[in-house]
Amino acid sequence: MSERSKGFGTRWRAWRIARARAFGIARARAWRIAAGAVMLASSAIAGGVHAQMPASPAPKSADGGAVTADEAKAVAERRKTETEHPAADAGAQKLAKGPHGALPVAEQLAVLDALDLPDGPEIPRGIDPLVWQALVPKDNEITKERVALGKKLYFDTRLSKDGTLACATCHDVSRSFTDRRPVSEGIADQLGQRNSPTTMNALFFQTQFLDGRAALLEDQAKLPILNPIEMGQPSEDATIANIKDDAEYQRMFQAAYGGTVNYDDMARAIATFERTFVFLDAPFDEFVAGDSSAISAKAREGWVLFNGKARCVSCHMLNPSNPIGTDDRFHNIGVSARKQNFEDLAGKALKALHGKEGAEAQEAIDRLAIETNLSELGRFLVTKNRSDIGSFKTSQLRNIGITGPYMHDGSMQTLTDVIDHYNRGGEANPFLDGGIEPLALTETEIESLVEFLQTLTDKRFAAEQRTETARQRAVAAKQRPFRENDLAMRKVLPFESRVMGTKEGKR
Amino acid sequence: MNGSRILLGLAALGLAGVGLVGLAVADDASSASGAASNSLVVQLCDGQTTTTVDKNAPKTKENGQKIAADLMAQWQRAHPDANWIATEREKHMIVEPADNTAMIGRMQGQTYGQVTERDVLSWQRETLAMAVHGSTVFHSGDELGSTIAVSCDMCHPDASNTHAETYPKFQPQLGRVALLRDMINWCIEHPVRGVKLEPDSPKMRALEAYIMAQRKGTAMNYGAR
Amino acid sequence: MSRKFTSIETKHYEERSALFDALPRLNRRDFLKVSAAAMAAAAGSGVRFHPTSFQPVTVANAAGREPFTFAYISDSHLYRRDLNDRFVRSILRAVDDVNHLDPKPDFILYGGDLAQLGKKEELDLGAEILKNVQQPIRMMVGEHDWFLDMGARWRELFGKETYSFDHKGVHFVVLMSVNEKDFWTARKMTPEQRMGTVAGLDNGIQSRFEVGAEQREWLKTDLANVAADTPLIVFSHSPLYKYYKNWNFWTDDADEVQAILAKFAHVTVIHGHTHQMLTNRIGNIDFHGLLSTAWPWPYAPEGLPKLTVQMSRPDPFDPNDGCGDGNMEVNADGLVDKIYNLWNRNPIEVTSGYLASNGTKEKPAAPNMTSF
């Protein structure tokens, strides 16, 4: 893997140069160095170009799935199709669906193979070895055996109570490692309150879940299995009982962690497998490595806006140490404030959590977050800090073009909606993040930003990005529910309707 | 103005920067207004500034100085930048640059001889002038190009909390390592809502000079948060 | 059901801090590479916030008086709306805040500097916005409201600048503490130049603030019939003590005014102008500063009262950080607990008990990032 680590140094230097360029600083010198960097960088990236996904992958024997065809069919019939995100139906990959809209396991595995992910401890391309150290817990180093076990578990529907859900149901390899629905569907087709974040690059986050209630992937993996309306297992023991007699699991747990089948190691193996989901090979990376033609002129304008007028970078920081575009902080941008009674919820949540400590509090929060409208309080449920009311974790920007719908509740269909939302200064509420103010972006500037964001999609999903770009463009041409020009251009001010009773905010 | 003219020349009263002031005095009786013949219009040598006085007032030194002072005050108001360094220093505390007088008389043994008093004076004057220029930009929304009438001093009186000594440093909200000028430009673009300055522009250089001047004596500590 | 994720989380944080502890030993290049993560971790785990809920606890410990609350908005520095929307948005946010307080405050104090340059359209805009405050409002004047027309428009809109009133057994006095000795006539300044000079905090041409002899006489008369055990709350725009002269964080005749207040057992002075969390106690007098809605001031280089609970330096990337509004809990003993509602931060409460104990008791939990 020396090729990969060599690539990092080049990229890191090129990043700084590209940033200098974006900020209009030391231009002449930056261009001169960048020209030299192109040659170095292109050799590093050459190994990263992958074949596109097969249009109809050949079925393979499943080494994880345990759903019978009948079960799958029964669930499919009960499925609430109205919750489907249109992306699942659109474009190039019209794929057969299993329970809850997920691609059947065998087909997902074929898609996964085409992505050519690491299967062992090598440091994924594009990551600084020192940063990698901070990303992998000391007590769960990556080994081939652990990745293999995690892979089997990730696709195993026996981890759910009714056998219809695996991790791969809501984090479907064929649907950008998410489910492309506004909110996720659990056992008995129950809908949760939150949008399923992609597991691509999830390893980079400092906390997991949209409210950060778990620190590590290891912690995250345990919770959906036991949540009553997600995978619905009554207990850790009940979960393990489903798989502990599987001889292959016994062999694999022994090889991976030197013990019997157990819940903690199950979560650690899943986390290890998820740490192979590194997708940092996008046109944007070629651009910052010095190839200015890697992205369009419009996208380049978007990058300047991203760092300047649109102020995206203040929360979505992108740099070699932190390559996914998040500050790992929690911000109230007002998405919750569009829900009724949001402000009353805070008081109720304080009562619900009163006197609960430690694991008990965490369990209460987990259930509140998934099952009730208290979910809208976001990070507040974890910290009980007033300053955290209605705040959610800053999303990553990698592959954002294909991981819609957007926001913690999936309430935005397109990236244009997202920019519209920020352009109007979010939604006014007493807890709105102070950095969220109207941006006065023009239509052209909005288009440039959207086009820039699409360059952050890994090249392995280039075809999907094209399809999704076309779909979102068509949707945005028809509807712009968050567009509010008078607010964006500061003719009407945020809080004005709340205070003065004018018509601001009416959509 | 075809009446009799009296031309006076007198040394400027406490007005550095304008050497000699000429006065033209016109008999008001001949002016278009045709007003009472008791008044006299006195005009400054700029051909624009005038004041009206009583023709019959005793021509004492005191009265003469009153006329001169009035004209001068008017002229100064119309030309606020005439003595901009003194004006700005009266308004805003600007830390003086280091004193190099100890170098006077020293030499390095080359053809250019030893450091003179005048050398040190010009170093001091020019350096201070740059910081003073920075102060005028720092304290003016117009100079900064603010579209919302915001200037640096509104959050940073006397350049406080600008901590020039901590740059370069990683600025999380810029997602990168920033120099002082990057942060100045960020502030100009966002809270000030203007157009970023070219890094080598006179205004940016002056702003850096003023901010650094105000942190004189603070230990350099790049990277500090 | 045993879940171990909490301990894993703790362990993870320990490991991460161990890694970051080792950072100084890294060479420069390595350090640059991980510095982003290091800072993020420090900020994420190092800061603890006071778990203040919406309703601060009101202590009903004395007989006779009913505890009550009043809220404040201060230092909005409005320009014309079409010139600067930022500051208009901020005062709107503050009005929204005080309108949503539960329980409702008895009244709202406006702490001065409604306008930036004292212009009619600025004051009129402010008055128009403040009409939407649902509770009665008590106005105080600031130097930015005053020095264009020496208070003429402000008085037309809001009445007298110096007045007193009684509320639930507490005597309130509102002073005009931002008089300045004439620096403008000799310089033949226009009213706009005079206003512009005063509007610059670090502008050294202007004079120092003072209440002035006339108002001090008025104050003596006003207080003559108030019993010494009546709780007294004084509103002044400038701090009624001497903090930092160069920025007019200062009242020149503060000592004389304090002497007039000396006979009262419980005196609280609430002041604007300083745009920061600021706390002091001199003799029998508690002093609390107000937050601005427009922008925060840094702490002055010297003279900061030692009881001050400092707010962390504001984040320039968040244009609302360090700004906000707040409320005052007037306890049954007539003493005041001050709650700073810093936008997007946790509220911080500075109690009378903290001041009475000279900072040894009821120490507020506050963020701990220092200023430069």
> Contact B42/B67 with Cβ under 8 angstroms?
yes
Do the chains contact at A313 and B174, CB–CB below 8 Å?
yes
Which pLDDT value is given to residue A4? 42
How far is residue A425's CA from residue A419's CA, in Å, rounded to a whole number? 10
User: Which residues on chain B are in Cβ contact (under 8 Å) with C201?
Assistant: 153-154, 157
Do the chains contact at A498 and C96, CB–CB below 8 Å?
yes
pLDDT confidence tier of residue B82, bands split at 50, 70 and 90: confident
Residue A49 has pLDDT above 50, yes or no: no
Residue C51 has pLDDT above 50, yes or no: no
Beta bridge partners of C282: C285
pLDDT confidence tier of residue A500, bands split at 50, 70 and 90: confident
Residue B160: closest CA among chain C residues belongs to which residue? C298
Residue owning tokens 């050497």: B19
Angle at Cα A338 formed by Cα A332 and Cα A344, nearest 5°?
A: 80
Residue A61 has pLDDT above 50, yes or no: no
Residue C172 parent element (H or E): strand C170-174
Three-state DSSP class for residue C121: helix
Which pLDDT value is given to residue A96? 55
| Rg, C-alpha atoms of chain B | 25
Q: What is the SS3 assignment for C282-342?
A: ECCEEEEECCCCCCCCCCCCCCCCCCCCCCCCCCCCCCCCCCEEEEEEECCCCCEEEEEEE
- Cα dist from B180 to B163, B199, C105, C322, whole Å: 9, 10, 44, 22
Do the chains contact at C51 and A434, CB–CB below 8 Å?
no
pLDDT confidence tier of residue B76, bands split at 50, 70 and 90: confident
For residue A438, give the nearest of A394, A390, A491 by alpha carbon: A491
Q: Terminal CA-to-CA distance of chain B, rounded, Å?
A: 68
Distance from CA of B27 to the nearest CA of C (A): 27
Task: Tell me the per-residue pLDDT of C65-98, one tens digit each, with 9 for 90 and over.
Answer: 789 999 999 999 999 999 999 999 999 999 999 9
Question: Of A131-140, A200-209, A273-282, A367-376, which gets the smallest average pLDDT?
Answer: A367-376
For residue A133, give the nearest of C19, C35, C38, C12 by alpha carbon: C19
**Contact with chain A for residue B19, Cβ under 8 A:** no
Do the chains contact at B91 and C297, CB–CB below 8 Å?
no
**Contact with chain A for residue C5, Cβ under 8 A:** yes
**Sequence-ordered alpha helix ranges (H) in A93-198:** 105-115, 129-135, 144-154, 167-170
Residue A226 has pLDDT above 90, yes or no: yes
Angle at Cα A316 formed by Cα C31 and Cα A36, nearest 5°?
A: 60
User: Which residues on chain B are in Cβ contact (under 8 Å) with C40?
Assistant: 172
Which pLDDT value is given to residue A360? 74
Dihedral angle sign, alpha carbons of residues B80, B84, B86, B87:
positive
How far is residue C221's CA from residue C110's CA, in Å, rounded to a whole number? 25
Residue A338 has pLDDT above 90, yes or no: no
Residue A56 has pLDDT above 50, yes or no: no
Neighbours of chain A (3+ CB pairs under 8 A): B, C
Burial call A111-143: b when 16+ CB within 10 Å, e when fewer: bbebbebbeeeebbbbbbebbbebbbbeebebb
Angle at Cα A184 formed by Cα A181 and Cα A188, nearest 5°?
A: 125
pLDDT confidence tier of residue C346, bands split at 50, 70 and 90: confident
How far is residue C34's CA from residue C20's CA, in Å, rounded to a whole number? 9
How far is residue C65's CA from residue C61's CA, in Å, rounded to a whole number? 10
Nearest by CB: B153 against C85, C201, C317: C201
pLDDT confidence tier of residue A385, bands split at 50, 70 and 90: confident
pLDDT confidence tier of residue A350, bands split at 50, 70 and 90: low
Which pLDDT value is given to residue B80? 77
User: Which residues on chain A are in Cβ contact (under 8 Å) with B182?
Assistant: 23, 25
Distance from CA of B38 to the nearest CA of C (A): 26
If you write DSSP's letter for every residue of C53-100 in order, what string do you get? -SSPPPP--SSSS--EEEEEE----B--TTT-HHHHHHHHHHHHHHHT
Distance from CA of B160 to the nearest CA of C (A): 7
Nearest by CB: B175 against A25, A309, A319: A319
User: Which residues on chain A are in Cβ contact (under 8 Å) with B176?
Assistant: 16, 19, 319
Average pLDDT over residues C322-350: 92
For residue A259, give the nearest of A423, A145, A417, A387 by alpha carbon: A145
Residue C188 has pLDDT above 70, yes or no: yes
Task: Tell me the per-residue pLDDT of A469-484, one tens digit each, with 9 for 90 and over.
Answer: 999 999 999 999 999 9
Q: List for chain B the helix, strand, coil content (%; round to 5).
A: 40, 15, 45
Residue A42 has pLDDT above 70, yes or no: no
Average pLDDT over residues A284-296: 95
For residue A465, give the nearest of A87, A182, A144 by alpha carbon: A87
Average pLDDT over residues C46-64: 32
Residue A400 has pLDDT above 90, yes or no: yes
pLDDT confidence tier of residue A348, bands split at 50, 70 and 90: low
- Cα dist from C15 to C11, C12, C31, whole Å: 6, 5, 18
Q: Please identify among residues 149-178 of chain C the ones whose CB lies closer than 8 Å to any CB of chain B.
A: none
Average pLDDT over residues C13-22: 47
How far is residue A112's CA from residue A172's CA, in Å, rounded to a whole number? 10
How far is residue A482's CA from residue A225's CA, in Å, rounded to a whole number? 35
The backbone torsions φ and ψ at residue A284, rounded to the nearest 5 degrees and listed phi first, read -55, -40
Task: Select from C1, C2, C4, C5 the residue whose CB has the most chain A CBs within 10 Å, as the one to mutate to test that interface.
Answer: C5
Which pLDDT value is given to residue C12? 40
Three-state DSSP class for residue A54: coil
Residue B25 parent element (H or E): strand B20-27
Do the chains contact at C9 and A131, CB–CB below 8 Å?
no
Q: Is A399 exposed, middle or buried (0-12, 13-18, 19+ CB in 10 A)?
A: buried
Task: Tell me the per-residue pLDDT of B117-142, one tens digit each, with 9 for 90 and over.
Answer: 999 999 999 999 999 999 999 999 99
Q: What is the mean pLDDT of chain A?
A: 82
Nearest by CB: B92 against C83, C202, C372: C202
A447 counts as catalytic: no
Dihedral angle sign, alpha carbons of residues C117, C121, C124, C130:
negative
How much of chain C exceeds pLDDT 70, in percent? 82
Average pLDDT over residues C137-154: 98
Do the chains contact at C298 and B161, CB–CB below 8 Å?
yes
For residue A293, give the nearest of A475, A5, A38, A56 by alpha carbon: A38
- Single-letter amino acid code for the residue at B224: A
Three-state DSSP class for residue A178: strand
Question: Of A205-209, B70-74, B199-203, C155-159, which gets the smallest average pLDDT?
Answer: B70-74
Distance from CA of C172 to the nearest CA of B (A): 31
Do the chains contact at A23 and B182, CB–CB below 8 Å?
yes
Do the chains contact at B199 and A322, CB–CB below 8 Å?
no
Instruction: Give Cα C273 to chain centroid, integer Å.
Output: 7
How far is residue A321's CA from residue A385's CA, in Å, rounded to a whole number? 29
Distance from CA of C214 to the nearest CA of B (A): 29
User: Which residues on chain A are in Cβ contact (under 8 Å) with C345?
Assistant: 387
Which pLDDT value is given to residue A367? 67
Task: Select from A216, A344, A382, A493 the residue whose CB has the most chain C CBs within 10 Å, as the one to mutate to test that interface.
Answer: A493
Q: What is the SS3 assignment for A180-249?
A: CCCCCECHHHCECCCCCCCCCCHHHCCCECCCCCECCHHHHHHHHHHCCCCCCCCCHHHHHHHHCCCHHH
**Contact with chain B for residue A321, Cβ under 8 A:** no
- The one-character DSSP state at C210 is B
User: Which residues on chain A are in Cβ contact (under 8 Å) with B173?
Assistant: 313-315, 317, 327
Dihedral angle sign, alpha carbons of residues A171, A176, A181, A183:
positive
User: Which residues on chain C are in Cβ contact (under 8 Å) with A134?
Assistant: 16, 19, 34, 37
**Contact with chain A for residue C22, Cβ under 8 A:** no
Do the chains contact at B196 and A26, CB–CB below 8 Å?
no
Neighbours of chain B (3+ CB pairs under 8 A): A, C
Residue B137 parent element (H or E): helix B117-138
Residue C56 has pLDDT above 70, yes or no: no
Q: Is A203 exposed, middle or buried (0-12, 13-18, 19+ CB in 10 A)?
A: buried
Question: Of A364-378, C107-121, C169-183, which gets the smallest average pLDDT?
Answer: A364-378
- The one-character DSSP state at A52 is P
Which pLDDT value is given to residue A351? 61
Q: List for chain C the helix, strand, coil content (%; round to 5).
A: 30, 20, 50
Residue C260 has pLDDT above 80, yes or no: yes
* Identified catalytic residue from A107, A145, A185, A230: A230
Distance from CA of C238 to the nearest CA of B (A): 17
Going by their DSSP bridges, the two strands C324-330 and C336-342 should be labelled as: antiparallel
Distance from CA of C312 to the nearest CA of B (A): 12
How far is residue A159's CA from residue A189's CA, in Å, rounded to a whole number? 16
Do the chains contact at A490 and C85, CB–CB below 8 Å?
yes
Do the chains contact at B160 and C300, CB–CB below 8 Å?
yes
Nearest by CB: C35 against B160, B170, B190: B170
CA dihedral A118, A123, A126, A130 (to 10 degrees): 160
Structure tokens at A73: 């069919």
Which pLDDT value is given to residue C211? 98
**Contact with chain A for residue C321, Cβ under 8 A:** yes
Going by their DSSP bridges, the two strands C107-110 and C137-139 should be labelled as: parallel
Residue C218 parent element (H or E): helix C213-224
Task: Tell me the per-residue pLDDT of A108-125, one tens digit each, with 9 for 90 and over.
Answer: 999 999 999 999 999 887
Task: Tell me the per-residue pLDDT of C268-302, one tens digit each, with 9 for 90 and over.
Answer: 999 999 999 999 999 999 999 999 999 999 999 99
Average pLDDT over residues A283-297: 96
Which pLDDT value is given to residue B3? 39
Greater pLDDT, B148 or A60: B148
Residues 6+ apart with CB under 8 A from A196: A170, A171, A178, A179, A181, A183, A184
- The one-character DSSP state at C191 is H
Question: Of A30-44, B134-148, C125-139, C268-282, which gets the smallest average pLDDT?
Answer: A30-44
